[in-house]
Structures are given as structure tokens and as C-alpha cells.
Amino acid sequence: MMNAKELKKAIEDNVKVLYRKTIDEASKEQVFYALSYAIKDTVIDEWINTHKAYDEQDAKILYYLSMEFLIGRALGNNIINLGARKEVAEVLEELGFDLTDIEDQESDPALGNGGLGRLAACFLDSLATLNYPAYGCGIRYHYGMFKQKIENGYQKEVPDDWIKNGYPFEIKRSEYSYIVKFGGNVRVDNVNGKEKFIQENYGSVKAIPYDMPVLGYENGMVNSLRIWDAEAITNFSLEQFDKGDYQKALEQENLAKTLVEVLYPNDNHYAGKELRLKQQYFFISASLQRALDKFKSTHSDIHMLPEKVVFQLNDTHPTVAIPELMRLLLDEEGLNWDEAWDITSRCMAYTNHTIMSEALEKWPIDLFKSLLPRVYQIVEEINRRFVVQIRDRYPNNAAEKEKKMAILYDGQVRMAYMAIIAGFSVNGVAKLHTQILEHQELKDFYEMMPEKFNNKTNGITQRRFLVHANPLLTDWITKKLGSDKFITDLPQLSGLKQYLNDDKSLEEFMEIKYQNKLRLVKYIKEHNGIDVDPNSIFDVQVKRLHEYKRQLLNILHVMYLYNKLKNDDNFDMYPRTFIFGAKAAAGYRRAKQTIKLINSVADVINNDKSINGKIKVVFIEDYKVSNAEIIFAAADVSEQISTASKEASGTGNMKFMLNGAPTLGTMDGANVEIVEEVGRDNAFIFGLSSDEVIAYENNGGYDPMTIFNSDTEIRTVLMQLVNGFYSPNNTEEFREIYDSLLKKQGNDRADVYFILKDFRSYAKAHDEVEKAYKDKKRWAKMALTQTANAGKFSSDRTIEEYVRDIWHLTKLRLDNAK
Ligand code: 26M
């Protein structure tokens, strides 16, 4: 890192060169670019150095293949990882600017939907910090996750043009471009008695990589996030590759344009869109071609590939990597099937992130085949050989097993099964989730190949979600522990336990929470125009909107509390602010109705003077990584209320915990492990267990009508959905929500997410929260207990487990690391 004087000069020079201005004339945005380029400059040498070390040490490289990297803003994070926070802030102050203001100028790159994409970003941070050689490989979507506007209570999607003004932390690397081919047909040639498969009459695009630096924490390591953009193949190469006509040229131009245009804004939902499959193959083919070329530039024997390269499939989205690697090894490298299969299956590992059946990717064979004719032939052969294996192993029930396990079945390509069959590792993302995979969802596979299955409980990076998000708490912890080692060794937080009975420390801890609540109050005032009482309990649910996550349960409970306040003279409550943040997939009706409901309830309650502000409801518009950081730091209560068994892990739960907010939640996903760490007394647990949920799902026996008929308070709340209480101009506004809770849904029973079933138990847990909160000292202790026990949930721990059990990487040595 340059010194203060050099940095100042670099910023001033950049402002001059970029904008022909002196620093005193520059806008905040201009200073953002000037500073960012200065930071990128300081990173470049270490970046080059790191990749030289890859080659010199002949390092094994991880390729983390993911359709999503929800990286969030880079500037502040890079400054932290360079260890330069104080210095940069001071230089900016001298120049008359505030660092957080400048950071706010950066667009918040949202190349992901939610948990899965953010996990990928945390993993990259940990990999670099732990000195592991790795590339993130993904897509350079021109439009990331949409920006959410709330208009009249409804979500409106606005395109997110994140690269409009240029993104300072990327480098275009045209020299590593590749051609990706779609469609056409396969011709089989016989060359010297050997079959050769030639794809012809195809359309093609050029894949051009852009690299972003991924900095380790103060260790001189700079890995790359490589995202692929698409360009049309221009005339010279068009001739060369396609001998194409004018019509084709136009088609290819169009394909290149649409291919990487936009991220599909679905989360946990598969839609079967052809363009999505094109996106998948596009970035996979380019990434694999590049990985093989890189390997071959320093190795002569392709059989060594599994020793030097490992591919991790982030869910099934990149699974076409399996037949694509086979294709490259067979058709380009000239290997025979057994050799190619051996290499492929030793290079590929798969992570499952969900058991929600609607998320499973099952491509129609017709579509798959016409888009990827050669790749499909290979899938057929993989499937054929696997079916032979099944028949061998299960001679008595082969047909049943085939139905349950074959890749090709019922006119579909079942991507998860291909990933399991071909790879050497299948992992879930929390203990409970992995157990459910082994014993329910994937039990036939577990039975057949138990050695492949393993658990890797998710984690989060403390560099972003503590050090960057919560500087006050970071400084306090550093002082209390006498060291900032926890920044790379999170379990050191357990040292805070010695302060659990120290009144002064507890007060300091809660004062920091209060300051962070003020910061959020300010954000809400500026962005929502709502006044919030910082002394109220900040009860927060932020995550994608999905029925299984049960934001509906939360808001129904708010409606219930409001009724009590209005109707029951003996009822009183501690002031609460219910904070929501959530994006709904653009085509997900029920989710959008739930957003409208939350906003309608907010309208009524926030404007009712008679309840003395005891309840406030805030829907934070456009929940994203940058405001998440502010929200986690300010939360008192972490709502993690998914229907048990449905949330594979959750990672927001860990971010709240790290920042001192106890969990109010079900025994689902990683909540189970959070409770294991803090103890049952330091969490507010409610609801059906995953076993109970699964038993009801399999055997029936739950009827929400009995609850509706017997519980008047719940009934009143439900009736308010359809009597215009919250929608005076349209009593039908929330009819579908009402129906979903009480009426049979096609073949499904009503209330598939057990909202009414869990309601009373949820309300009781809320009572416990209030009781605990009123006892200031008890609460402070409980809050500090969260932070002190968060050590397990660092993504550093997760990455070390992946390295130990799956990737087998070696730490890179960097000589001139500081
Ligand atoms: C699928 C098809 C078409 C378009 C989009 C998709 C799709 C995109 C994202 C499907 C699922 C997607 O993400 C799923 C996800 O985010 N899962 C979450 O993963 C986290 C990290 O492991 C877990 O913590 C969450 O529990 C899990 O819901």
C-alpha cells in the first residue's frame, strides 16, 4: 500500500486525468472513481505476483463455478483488506471528504439473488484470506438483481444498470477470449478408424472474461473473480468458424446481446427457460476451455488434471460442466471414455443448496438436445452407463430405482442426479440439511454411494459483516481482546465471554448497539421517510421473499398484536419496530402480495396515533448487500422463521448473531447449530420440528380449519385479510393469501407452510423476547453471548473444511507479503 502522501497525490492526479478538475472542484462520485483507481493501482502488483506464484508453485487451483456472485461494494472492503482503513479515511478528510460518503457512490454489484450468490462471495473472500489459489467463474450480467421500488405498497422492478458509468475494479482480458457454440447438428466422421464428432451449422458467440481482484486480508494474496461477457463474432472469425451468411450474423449478434443481459431474478425456483440454459453453457464452456488451456500451458499430461484442478458446482446451475469437460477430453484431447470419465469424476464436486422441489432443475430433453447436441450425446452415454450399473446392483427393483435415479427420465434431464452420479462429492450446507438429503431427498443415492456425501455448514466473512459493517463493535472487541486476531480467526471471539458478567462491558456493548440503531434510524428516515424510535426493540426479518421463509407468519403476528393493543385494555407491550426487507421474484404472485400486505399493515398501524407508537412496521425498500450491513449491525432480534426442513442453512442468521442479535426462529438449517453454540436459553425457539413437518407432509393429519374455528384471535386476523381492514378500497386485495391458508390448493392441502399451526408457538416466543428485553442486563448478556459464540460461523472455517475434505488445496506462499 502506498503511503498517505502518495495516496493523496494519486487521488488528485486521477481527478485531473479523468475529469480535468482539481480536487476542490471534484464531486463525490468523481472522488470515488479517483480513489478506486488509486486502490486498484496499488493492488495490481500483488495481483500479478499472486498469479506468478500460482505458476511457480504449480499450485492446485479451485474453480468455483457459480451463476451468481453477490459481491456487494468493493471499495470499502478492499481498503479494509489492504489494512488501510484509517490512512485512507484521513487522507480523504484532508481533502475534505468522508470515506463512507465516498463509498456510497459505488453501485452495489448485485450479480446474485440471495443466499447462494452471497455465499459464493464470502467464499472468495475467505479463499484469498487463507492463501488458497482459486478463481470464481461466473457471468458478467449487464443488469444484476433489479432495484426494488415500492409504489403504493407494491413492488416495482427497476433495471440495475450497475456498469453504466464504468466499474473501476474490473479488467477486460480480451486475450483470453473463447468461442462457445450452440445448436446445429453433430456429424460423425471416421478418421483412421476412430469416430470424430463434429458440430456443424451451429451459432456461436465470443466469451470475453473480465477479472475483478479478490483481496485476502493483509496477506498480499489477490485471487480473481472471472466473469464472462458475450460479444458477437465479427466478420473475420465468422468466416473462420461459421462460413456463415448474413442472417446468421444477425442472429449471432442478437444472441451475444441477450445472453448476458440480465440475471434471472428467481431464487429457489426453476422456470425452464431456454436462455437460462444458454447462460449456463456459455459461462461453463468458456471457463472450462480456459482452465484446460491454463493447465496445459504448464503440464503435458492431461491425466494429471485432477491433481491440479478442482471444480466446485454451486448448486446444479453449472452442472453442464460435467458433460462439457467430457466433451473437451474426448473430442479435443482425444481421450477414450474411461479415461475422460475418470478425470471428470475426480475433478467435479457438487453443493446442494435446497430441498425445495420447485427449485430442482429438470431440463426438457428436446430443448437440451437442440441447444447442445454434442453435449447431449454425452449425457445420454453417462446415463446409459449409470442405468447399466443400477440394473447390476438392483436386479430385483431396477425399474423403480431407474425411475428414482436415472439422469434421463420422463423426457427430462435431471441435473442434480447428473451432478451426484458424476462428481466425487455431494455436500449439504448445514448439518440438518445434509441429514435430510441423506435420509429423505437423496436417500437412494446416499444408499448407493454414501462415501460421496458430506456436510459443510455455511459461514460468512467477518471482514465484511463485522469489520466493515460494524466498525464500532470491531474497535470495541479489539480493545477487549487486546488484539484484532479475530479478523482472521473468528473463534477468538470466545474471549469475550469473560465480560458476560461485567456490567460496564455490557453497557458499552449495548451503547454500541444503540449507536448502530441510530445509524439505521437515519437510513430509514432518509430512504423511507419514517420516524423510528431507537429505544424500541428492532425486530428484523431481511431475506428474499419466499413462502417457506414465512414473512407472512411475521406480519400476521403483527396484525394480532395490533388487535390486542386496540381491543384489550389489559394488554400492554414494549415498543417494537418490525423491520422487513425483501425482494420478490418478479413473477412470484404470492410473494408480491405479501409485500403489499406488509406495506398495507404498516400504513394502518404507523398512522394510528392511539397506540402511542408501540408498534412500527417498516419495509426497507431495495434490500441489498450495502444496506444489509447497516441493518445487521442495528438489529436486536433476528427472525429466522422458515418452516422447519425448508431452509437449507440460512446465512443471514449468522450475520445477526455476529452482530449481537439473538435468534427468534425454528429448528431449521443452521439455526440448529447456532442454538448448539449459544445454548437453548440464549435463543427463542418455536414451532414444529423438521421431523414433525416431514411426517405431516407424508401422512397428512394437519387441517388449518380446526385452528381457524377454535382460535378467535387467529380467526379475527384472518378475517381482516378479506374484510377490507387493511385494504378499504379493495376487499379482495388479500383474498389469495387468505385462501392459501385455508383452502385446498389444487392437489395440495391448505397452509402448506404450517403458518397457523406454528402461530401460537411463535406468539409465545415473542412474549419471551419481550420479557427478556425488559431486563436490560439479561438482554445485554444474551446479546453479547451471540457475538462471543459466533466463531464457528466464519466462512474461513467453512473453507478450511472444503479444503480438507474436498479440494485438497495447498496454501500459496507469497514472499513479499506484508
Ligand atoms: C434457478 C433456476 C432459474 C433461475 C434461478 C434459479 C435459482 C437461483 C438461485 C435457484 C436457486 C437460487 O438460490 C438458492 C439459494 O439461494 N439457496 C440458499 O442457499 C444458501 C447458501 O447455501 C442457504 O443458506 C439458504 O438456506 C438457501 O435457501
pLDDT tens readout for residues 368-385: 999 999 999 999 999 999
Alpha carbon of 510 to ligand 1 centroid (Å):
34
| Mutational pocket test of ligand 1: of 64, 113, 116, the residue with most ligand atoms within 8 Å of the beta carbon | 116
What's the rounded Cα separation, in Å, for the pair 760 and 632? Answer: 27
Q: Tell me: the pLDDT tens digits for 596-629?
A: 999 999 999 999 999 999 999 999 999 999 999 9
Among 757, 555, 548, residue whose Cα is nearest residue 641: 548
Give the Cα-Cα-Cα angle 319, 323, 324 (nearest 5 degrees): 90
Distance of CA 744 to the CA centre of its chain: 33
240-249, 427-436, 770-779: range with lowest mean pLDDT: 240-249
Q: Tell me: the pLDDT tens digits for 317-367?
A: 999 999 999 999 999 999 999 999 999 999 999 999 998 888 889 999 999
Decide if 792 contacts 673 (C-beta within 8 A).
yes
Alpha carbon of 117 to ligand 1 centroid (Å):
8
Main-chain dihedrals φ then ψ at residue 313, nearest 5 degrees: -95, 115
Q: Tell me: the pLDDT tens digits for 150-202?
A: 999 999 999 999 999 999 999 999 999 999 999 999 999 998 888 999 999 99
Main-chain dihedrals φ then ψ at residue 685, nearest 5 degrees: -105, 140
What's the rounded Cα separation, in Å, for the pair 594 and 608? Answer: 21
Is residue 755 over pLDDT 90? yes
Decide if 660 contacts 784 (C-beta within 8 A).
yes
Sequence ranges of the chain with CATH classification 3.40.50.2000: 58-73+108-458+801-807, 462-688+752-792
Residue with cell 499472486: 50
Decide if 218 contacts 82 (C-beta within 8 A).
yes
For ligand 1, whether the C-beta of 466 sits within 6 Å is no
CA distances from 346 to 331, 350, 352, 415 (A): 19, 12, 18, 18
Closest atom of ligand 1 relative to the 433 alpha carbon: 26
More confident residue, 746 or 464: 464
Main-chain dihedrals φ then ψ at residue 419, nearest 5 degrees: -65, -40
Count of Cβ atoms closer than 10 Å to residue 301 Cβ? 9
Question: Would you please indicate which residues are annotated as catalytic (active-site) residues?
Answer: 353, 543-544, 549, 651, 655
For ligand 1, whether the C-beta of 588 sits within 6 Å is no
CA distances from 193 to 151, 196, 380, 512, 634 (A): 67, 9, 23, 75, 70
Handedness of CA 254, 260, 266, 269 (dihedral sign): positive
What's the rounded Cα separation, in Å, for the pair 288 and 309? Answer: 11
What's the rounded Cα separation, in Å, for the pair 370 and 373? Answer: 6
Q: What does the pLDDT average to over 548-566?
A: 98
Q: How confident is the model at residue 818 (pLDDT cuts 50, 70, 90)?
A: very low
Count of Cβ atoms closer than 10 Å to residue 680 Cβ? 9
Count of Cβ atoms closer than 10 Å to residue 102 Cβ? 24
Is residue 534 over pLDDT 70? yes
Is residue 308 over pLDDT 60? yes
Closest atom of ligand 1 relative to the 356 alpha carbon: 28
**Which residue puts its alpha carbon closest to atom 3 of ligand 1?**
270
Distance of CA 297 to the CA centre of its chain: 33
Alpha carbon of 114 to ligand 1 centroid (Å):
7
pLDDT of amino acid 627: 98
Which SS3 state, helix, strand or coil, does residue 210 take? Answer: strand
Closest atom of ligand 1 relative to the 544 alpha carbon: 16
Decide if 593 contacts 737 (C-beta within 8 A).
yes
Alpha carbon of 731 to ligand 1 centroid (Å):
34
| Mutational pocket test of ligand 1: of 145, 268, 352, the residue with most ligand atoms within 8 Å of the beta carbon | 268
Which grid cell sits at 52? 506468478
pLDDT of amino acid 751: 98
For ligand 1, whether the C-beta of 562 sits within 6 Å is no
Classify strands 576-581 and 615-619 as parallel, antiparallel or unpaired.
parallel
What's the rounded Cα separation, in Å, for the pair 61 and 721? Answer: 55
For ligand 1, whether the C-beta of 276 sits within 6 Å is yes
Closest atom of ligand 1 relative to the 648 alpha carbon: 26
Which grid cell sits at 502? 461485567
What's the rounded Cα separation, in Å, for the pair 644 and 554? Answer: 15
Classify strands 348-351 and 425-428 as parallel, antiparallel or unpaired.
parallel
Alpha carbon of 804 to ligand 1 centroid (Å):
25
Compute the mean pLDDT over every residue in the chain, rounded to the nearest whole number: 96
What's the rounded Cα separation, in Å, for the pair 401 and 405? Answer: 6
| Mutational pocket test of ligand 1: of 353, 361, 640, 643, the residue with most ligand atoms within 8 Å of the beta carbon | 353
Alpha carbon of 267 to ligand 1 centroid (Å):
5
What's the rounded Cα separation, in Å, for the pair 103 and 95? Answer: 15
Beta strands in 268-374 (DSSP E): 309-314, 348-351, 362-364
For ligand 1, whether the C-beta of 648 sits within 6 Å is yes
**Which residue puts its alpha carbon closest to atom 14 of ligand 1?**
268
Helices (H), 351-463: 365-371, 373-393, 398-405, 415-422, 431-436, 443-448, 462
Q: How confident is the model at residue 241 (pLDDT cuts 50, 70, 90)?
A: low
Decide if 666 contacts 643 (C-beta within 8 A).
yes
The contacts of residue 403 (CB under 8 Å, 6+ apart) are: 409
DSSP 322: H
Which grid cell sits at 712? 378467535
pLDDT of amino acid 237: 56
Is residue 234 over pLDDT 90? no
What's the rounded Cα separation, in Å, for the pair 113 and 592? Answer: 16
Q: Tell me: the pLDDT tens digits for 470-506?
A: 999 999 999 999 999 999 999 999 999 999 999 999 9
The contacts of residue 780 (CB under 8 Å, 6+ apart) are: 506, 507, 509, 510
pLDDT of amino acid 158: 98
Helices (H), 529-624: 551-567, 589-606
Alpha carbon of 623 to ligand 1 centroid (Å):
17
For ligand 1, whether the C-beta of 359 sits within 6 Å is yes
Q: What does the pLDDT average to over 730-755?
A: 96
Is residue 461 over pLDDT 80? yes
Decide if 363 contacts 413 (C-beta within 8 A).
yes
DSSP 647: -
Alpha carbon of 116 to ligand 1 centroid (Å):
5
Classify strands 185-191 and 194-200 as parallel, antiparallel or unpaired.
antiparallel
For ligand 1, whether the C-beta of 428 sits within 6 Å is no
Alpha carbon of 745 to ligand 1 centroid (Å):
24
Closest atom of ligand 1 relative to the 264 alpha carbon: 4
| Amino acid letter, residue 687 | G
What's the rounded Cα separation, in Å, for the pair 596 and 729? Answer: 14
Q: Give the HSE-up count for residue 119: Cα atoms under 13 Å, Cβ half-sphere.
A: 29
Alpha carbon of 588 to ligand 1 centroid (Å):
15
For ligand 1, whether the C-beta of 266 sits within 6 Å is yes
**Which residue puts its alpha carbon closest to atom 10 of ligand 1?**
268
What's the rounded Cα separation, in Å, for the pair 402 and 413? Answer: 13
Among 316, 181, 294, residue whose Cα is nearest residue 238: 181
Q: What does the pLDDT average to over 564-576?
A: 96
For ligand 1, whether the C-beta of 271 sits within 6 Å is yes
For ligand 1, whether the C-beta of 756 sits within 6 Å is no
Is residue 235 over pLDDT 80? no
For ligand 1, whether the C-beta of 115 sits within 6 Å is yes
CATH number of 58-73+108-458+801-807: 3.40.50.2000
Count of Cβ atoms closer than 10 Å to residue 70 Cβ? 25
Element (H, E) at 140: none
Which grid cell sits at 391? 440394473
**Which residue puts its alpha carbon closest to atom 9 of ligand 1?**
267
ipTM over the 0.95 cut-off: yes
Assign residue 715 a region (left: φ > 0; alpha: ψ between -120 and 50; beta: otherwise). Answer: alpha
CA distances from 642 to 414, 639, 656, 666 (A): 27, 9, 16, 7
Superfamily of domain 462-688+752-792: Glycogen Phosphorylase B; (3.40.50.2000)
The contacts of residue 269 (CB under 8 Å, 6+ apart) are: 356, 358, 359, 585, 588
Decide if 216 contacts 222 (C-beta within 8 A).
yes
- The overall pTM is greater than 0.95: yes
What's the rounded Cα separation, in Å, for the pair 445 and 457? Answer: 21
| Mutational pocket test of ligand 1: of 70, 267, 673, the residue with most ligand atoms within 8 Å of the beta carbon | 267
What's the rounded Cα separation, in Å, for the pair 275 and 281? Answer: 10
For ligand 1, whether the C-beta of 718 sits within 6 Å is no
DSSP 39: H
22-26, 249-253, 382-386: range with lowest mean pLDDT: 249-253
Give the Cα-Cα-Cα angle 594, 630, 155 (nearest 5 degrees): 25
